[in-house]
Amino acid sequence: MRVRLPRRPDVRTAAAPATEPAAGTGRARLRPVPLASAVAVLAAVLLAGLFVGAADLPFGGVLAALADRLPFVRLDSGLSVIEENVLFELRLPRVLMAALVGGMLAMAGAGYQGVFRNPLADPYLLGAASGAGVGATLVIVLLRGDLGFGVPIAAFAGALLGVLLAYSLGRTAGAAGGAATLVLAGVAVSLFLSAVQTFLQQLGTEELQRIYAWILGGVGGADWAQLALVGPYALVSTVILLAHGRLLDVLSVGDEEAAALGLSAQRVRLTVLVAASLATASAVAVSGLIGFVGIVVPHVVRRLAGGSYRIVLPLSLLGGAAFLAVADLVARTVIAPGELPLGVVTAFVGGPFFVAVLRASRRQVEA
């Protein structure tokens, strides 16, 4: 008589952090249905951003005006000159900028979480946003007037410096510190860089209004020139991060397994780290400090679509764009004719969400 012993639980799966994909996700593919759903949601949110505002625009006229800008399409929208200016010079750049910033922050957050294998990794918690803020403030103070390309370049350098400082500080405690050590290191670096930023503000008191407006976060001043300025940075970082989704899946099972497959773990981590910092810098340079997008969106995507980074990265890009577009819509309508800082809106959502993620991560470690 055969006695069947109870099956031993999969310890690796039970104790794995939330960023580690389940078995078999190395062959995961982004299915057409989730992708089409994310694109549809993003398109609906962007259209809502174009219609809602202080000036009422006719629904058919907006659609006709947008179609008229397509090649080989000629339609009479019926919009006046003022209405067309509101649509194409105010609302459309703002909506597109919100989508670009949200997509970059969410995808950067997913990239950081894959590099550190830590569900709490985020552009803010790892010092990237604070570092980018120092770089941007330095340029605003020293190079007054036209910001040109100075802000995104300085923000990129500051973001990379902030991440490297946080990562180096976290490693000094060894692996025993776990997620809490990395978070504390990021908080410490962020506080230090915030102090540096405050010092720089005192050196340029006549620029305080512009600096504070940038710190509070928002895309109200977005225009086509800003979109053209950060577009190349966003495009490069997006291509690199999306191309490394499968490699991040391999890293999630361990460095030894990756080395056995001929993969250089350090090279992949460095490449993703630089690309995520570039994405963060491109977003922060034009929008200011907007937090929690990099934590909220990737975790929601994992819950809905799975843990493979071949799925998480593209859906985080689309989901982050939709999330911040909705947040901007709330920011400019909830207290109309006034406007809330965009960072305040995301903090209302992200604060409680971060607490929930932190508690879930603690339960997984204790298990």
**Residue-by-residue DSSP string for 187-244:** HHHHHHHHHHHHHHHHHTGGGHHHHHHHHH---TT--HHHHHHHHHHHHHHHHHHHHT
Residues 6+ apart with CB under 8 A from 210: 140
pLDDT tens figures, 118-173? 777 888 777 888 898 898 888 888 876 555 667 777 877 888 888 888 888 887 76
Q: What angle do CA 83, 89, 92 make, to 5 degrees?
A: 90
Instruction: Tell me what the mean pLDDT of segment 267-285 comes to.
Output: 88
Distance CA 137, CA 201 (A): 7
More confident residue, 98 or 13: 98
101-110, 232-241, 338-347: segment of lowest average pLDDT: 338-347
Q: Has residue 293 got a pLDDT over 80?
A: yes
Question: The domain that contains 311 carries what CATH number?
Answer: 1.10.3470.10
Q: What are the two backbone dihedrals, phi and then psi, of residue 317, each rounded to the nearest 5 degrees?
A: -60, -50
pLDDT tens figures, 338-365? 888 888 899 888 888 878 777 776 666 5
Instruction: Tell me what the mean pLDDT of segment 287-302 comes to.
Output: 90
Distance CA 110, CA 248 (A): 10
Could you tell me if 352 and 76 are in contact, meaning their C-beta atoms sit under 8 angstroms apart?
A: no
Quote the mean pLDDT of the chain: 82
Predicted confidence at residue 168, as pLDDT, reads: 85
Show the tokens assigned to 217: 């976060």
Predicted confidence at residue 50, as pLDDT, reads: 93
Q: Would you give the DSSP letter of residue 83? A: H
Could you tell me if 295 and 186 are in contact, meaning their C-beta atoms sit under 8 angstroms apart?
A: no
Predicted confidence at residue 5, as pLDDT, reads: 44
Residue 76's alpha-carbon distances to 65, 208, 294, in angstroms, are 7, 45, 41
Distance CA 180, CA 359 (A): 11
Instruction: Tell me what the mean pLDDT of segment 248-269 comes to.
Output: 83
Predicted confidence at residue 100, as pLDDT, reads: 96
Predicted confidence at residue 176, as pLDDT, reads: 52
Exposed, middle or buried: residue 337 (CB in 10 Å: 0-12, 13-18, 19+)?
A: exposed
Compute how many other C-beta atoms are within 10 angstroms of the C-beta atom of residue 366: 7
- 66 three-state secondary structure: helix
Compute how many other C-beta atoms are within 10 angstroms of the C-beta atom of residue 267: 10
- 126 three-state secondary structure: coil
Does residue 80 lie within any of the structural domains? no
Q: Count up the domains in the chain and report the number.
A: 1
Q: What is the DSSP string of 242-280?
A: HHTHHHHHHHTT-HHHHHHTT--HHHHHHHHHHHHHHHH
Angle between helix 178-203 and 128-142 (nearest 10): 10
Does residue 180 lie within any of the structural domains? yes
Predicted confidence at residue 1, as pLDDT, reads: 44
Its domain, for residue 350, covers 29-49+86-366
What is the enclosing helix (H) or strand (E) of 113? Answer: helix 92-116
Distance CA 286, CA 298 (A): 22
More confident residue, 57 or 12: 57
Distance CA 96, CA 348 (A): 23
Does residue 300 lie within any of the structural domains? yes
**% of the chain residues with pLDDT over 90:** 31
158-167, 208-217, 324-333: segment of lowest average pLDDT: 208-217
Predicted confidence at residue 44, as pLDDT, reads: 95
Predicted confidence at residue 367, as pLDDT, reads: 57
Q: Has residue 26 got a pLDDT over 70?
A: no
Does residue 178 lie within any of the structural domains? yes
Show the tokens assigned to 132: 């980018």
Predicted confidence at residue 135, as pLDDT, reads: 87
> Radius of gyration over alpha carbons of the chain, in Å?
22
Q: In this structure, what is the dihedral angle of CA atoms 188, 349, 48, 310, given to the nearest 10 degrees?
A: 70
Distance CA 305, CA 245 (A): 14
Q: Position 119: which residue type?
A: P
Predicted confidence at residue 91, as pLDDT, reads: 94
Predicted confidence at residue 18, as pLDDT, reads: 43
Predicted confidence at residue 154, as pLDDT, reads: 83
Distance CA 363, CA 367 (A): 6
Instruction: Tell me what the mean pLDDT of segment 58-74 comes to.
Output: 90
Does residue 75 lie within any of the structural domains? no
Does residue 79 lie within any of the structural domains? no
